[in-house]
Structure 1
Amino acid sequence: MTQTRTRSTFAPPVMEARRWLEGVSFPDDRPLINVSQAAPVDPPHPDLRRAMAGAALENDAAHLYGPVLGLPDLRAELAGQISRHYHGHVTAEQVAITSGCNQAFAAAISALTTQGDEVILPTPWYFNHKMWLDMAGVQSVALPTDAGLLPDPARAEALITPRTRAIALVTPNNPGGVEYPADLVRDFHDLAAQHGLRLLLDETYRDFDSREGAPHPLFSLPDWDRVLVHLYSFSKAYRLTGHRVGALATDPALLAEVEKFLDTVAICPNQIGQHAALWGMRHLQGWLAGERAEILDRRAAISDAMPALRAQGWELLGLGAYFAYLAHPFDMPSDELARRLVPEAGVLLLPGTMFMPEGDAAGKRQVRVAFANLDRAGIELLFGRLANLPFS
């Protein structure tokens, strides 16, 4: 079989996990608990849906091609929000709107790399980043993290070669949940600047960071856009996953290269989704604060429920945003465990093997729980099932 771009990488992990459900029935007294995907299942706020309907009915331009880099008003609104939140200075010309944050990453990689280049990814990594690098012909250079799932800049520096083009970080992290300290993010920025690299900083989950205020100082640095490529998503904040609206902030010269990719792949971002994101940013900040508080409470519920799992040998490696990252105690690899959990416990989660290089021993002991769609009662039920597994 001919090797192609898509055959160079693995099957989409969430789709693979869903196939484990085929042929399995779940009794009424033990329904499936699905913690496999980090996406809200509830629809957007009713007022936001009404605004979307209004745009569809009353704004003829919303049904036509729009600017490749996104609606000017949305670019300006996001630039202003970033400037306020991070105490920096960002202009609309430094912002592009994309068809989701995954496309923002793909566009940035396409603008920064060519065949055979390298990008450093901390492990456990976000699998879609790894998949795109594979399909782009770019080598993913694994950077193992420490016991707290934090990457080490010194260790990253040792991995830099003449083919290295960027370092990619995700904070709050997917899959680990950990929030990278501000000093650590700054150290990676300085490392990238010293070596003429770009720092790709994916902050898809920044709206659910437990810290108040700016989580890092990068936007306040002079000429921040010469090193930083900032990635963001409206999907989680405003429940717009199906409308595919993300963003990228960096220097206008790089955005001119990004525009070539975006124009070729999608021509323009989803128009209705962009109007929704703009309306949400202008009208739903109070509601979003409540959503954040609820996620933080669910995070606290994970901490409250951990003693029962620790007693069975589980470890909590990382916790934050939508994720709990756990080490299991069983004498089997995590991919086998994850498959067995479906029929034997009514739980669908992702194994650590999906976030690690093939054969990595650490991934075989780890699992990811995406808990954002479980309330406290659901979290207690999940942890009760995990604490009472019949495995040894």
Structure 2
Amino acid sequence: MIRPLNPRMAATVPPPVMAARRWLDGITFPEDRPLINVSQAAPMDAPPEGLRAAIAEAALTETAAHLYGPVLGLPELREELAAQWSAGYGGEIAPGQVAITQGCNQAFCAAIATLAADGDEVILPTPWYFNHKMWLDMAGIRAVPLATGDSLIPEVQRAGRLITDRTRAIVLVTPNNPAGVEYPAEVLAAFTALCRRHGIALILDETYRDYHSGKGAPHALFKDPDWADTLIHLYSFSKAYRLTGHRVGAIFAHQDRLAEVEKFLDTVAICPNQLGQRAALWGMRNLGDWLAGERQEILARRAAIEAGFPALEGWHLLGAGAYFAYAAHPWPVASDDLARRLVEEAGVLLLPGTMFHPEGDTGARKQLRIAFANIDAGGIARLFERLSAFRA
């Protein structure tokens, strides 16, 4: 055992995706039955060729692409985000209300660092995104679980009963990770009003907004001229432009809060990835039609998931959307044990619901997350074949 060790770090769970990958150690999958990996929500393909060419050109011709840049990100990228978000959401967002981060996880960490201190509380709907819970644990901030019931949509009345004098924020993710569900605009508006009444922040993570199934803006929160008094909005370029390895995210917040965010970012990264930022900017300016096609493909995979689930005897699809399906299995086996067995017996790697709930949550023992965006229609069909044949 290493000594000394921060007890908060010791009490934080290992990264769930990495833990699940270790289940593969020592297992060989036959060529005619390769592993179906639906454990992680990440594009498996490289960015489109035009975007890769833009990255290469920047690397070869722009000296600034290899140097420190502004802590809060490239001014051009902040301006582009402010302009496109203002147009898309029908509100007024200034470039000074946008900062660029090393991925959306860093945006969340930076936001929390400005909001909460040791012993404070942040409300997380369950099932939660495990990295949000991990950061709160490491920071000594209590994650207060907000059960979402069968609908997987958080209820504002239930959330209101959890607010105390130590509550600093409520975190919502839509389309949701891990449940896939899309939160209705009226739910988001009600949570904004609740947070405003209590003087706390609403952190809205819209990493998967580009794959929302509805037309137009998913909510009207930015139409409020005082949105930045309550709302902290997070975004990721990883999924939209397949830039997972380049680590580019964004945070939209009050300019005064971003001055505090700057302290955090300067300490942990100094500046966002320079080539990644240029790639994100090029993508925003040139890949609108391509991204629309990517969205249609993800929606088609979602439809294939929804169409195939009724054939799985005893299974129940709880939620589906963006990159994820969240389901209840029929077996008298805890989901963490079942997930390990599915690797060896069915050649399927997915994540158990126990990774997205507080320890001891009985409902989580029946739940599994499937990151279906990683497989095409043929892969989805093969996934259903293996799940149908599996017996616990």
* TM category, shorter: over 0.9
| 1:5 Cα offset (Å) | 3.2
The two structures have a TM-score, normalised by structure 1, of 0.98
If the length of structure 2 is used for normalisation, what is the TM-score?
A: 0.98
2:287 matched residue in structure 1: 284
1:318 aligns with 2:319: yes
The aligned residue for residue 96 of structure 2 is: 93
Alignment of 1:258-297 (within 5 A): 258-297=261-300
Aligned to 2:306: 303
2:179–2:324: 8 Å Cα contact kept in structure 1?
Answer: yes
Counterpart-to-counterpart distance in 1, 2:151 and 2:211: 19
In 1, Cα distance between equivalents of 2:10 and 2:109: 17
In 2, the alpha carbon distance for the partners of 1:66 and 1:354 equals 37
Q: Which residue of 2 aligns with 1:42?
A: 45
Q: Which residue of 2 aligns with 1:152?
A: 155
1:68-88 Cα distance to aligned partner (Å, 9 max, x none):
000000000001111111111
1:261, CA displacement in angstroms?
A: 0.2
Q: What letter is aligned with 2:103?
A: G
In structure 1, C-alpha distance between the alignment counterparts of 2:82 and 2:334, rounded to whole Å:
45
How many equivalent residue pairs? Answer: 389
Residue 92 (structure 1) shift:
0.4
Residue 88 of structure 2 contacts residue 216 of structure 2 at CA under 8 Å; is this kept in 1? Answer: yes
Output aligned runs, 1:43-192, within 5 Å. 43-192=46-195
> Which string of whole-angstrom CA distances, capped at 9 and with x for unpartnered residues, describes residues 31-50 of structure 1?
10000000001000100000
5+ long unaligned stretches in structure 2? none
Matched, 1:203 2:206: yes
* Secondary structure at 2:39 match in 1: coil
Q: Deviations over 1:186-245 (max 9, x none)?
A: 000000000000000000000000011110110001210000000000000000000000
Structure 1 residues 1-40: aligned runs within 5 Å: 2-40=5-43
Counterpart-to-counterpart distance in 1, 2:67 and 2:6: 38
Task: Return the letter of the residue paired with 1:37.
Answer: Q
Preserved CA contact (<8 Å) 2:116 2:168: yes
Aligned 1:226-245 pairs, distance under 5 A: 226-245=229-248
Residue 130 (structure 1) shift: 0.1
Are residues 1:246 and 2:249 paired? Answer: yes
Whichever residue aligns with residue 243 of structure 2, its letter is L
- 2:381 match: 380
Counterpart CA distance in 1 for 2:270 and 2:11 is: 26
Displacement of 1:4: 2.8
CA distance in 2, matches of 1:126, 1:373: 18
Q: Sequence identity of aligned pairs in percent?
A: 66
- Alpha-carbon distance, 1:58 to partner: 0.5
Runs of 4+ residues over 2 Å off in structure 1: 1-5
Per-residue deviation, residues 293-344 of structure 1 (Å, max 9, x unmatched): 00000000001111211xx100000000000000000001000000000010
Which letter does structure 1 place at the counterpart of 2:374? N
- After TM superposition, give the deviation of residue 97 of structure 1 in Å: 0.2
Gap runs ≥5 in structure 1: none
Mapped partners of 2:136, 2:373: distance in 1: 28
CA distance in 1, matches of 2:329, 2:13: 24
Q: Deviation of residue 3 (structure 1)? A: 4.4
- In the aligned structure 2, how far is the partner of 1:283 from the partner of 1:123? 37
* Secondary structure at the counterpart of residue 292 of structure 1: helix
CA deviations 1:102-134 (Å, max 9, x no partner) are 000000000111100000000000000000000
Q: Is the 8 A contact 2:68 2:270 kept in 1?
A: yes
Which residue in 1 is equivalent to 2:225?
222
| TM-fit CA distance, 1:29 | 1.6
C-alpha distance after superposition, 1:345-385 (max 9, x if no partner): 00000000000000000110000000112111110110111
SS in structure 2 opposite 1:172? coil
Secondary structure of 1:10's match? coil
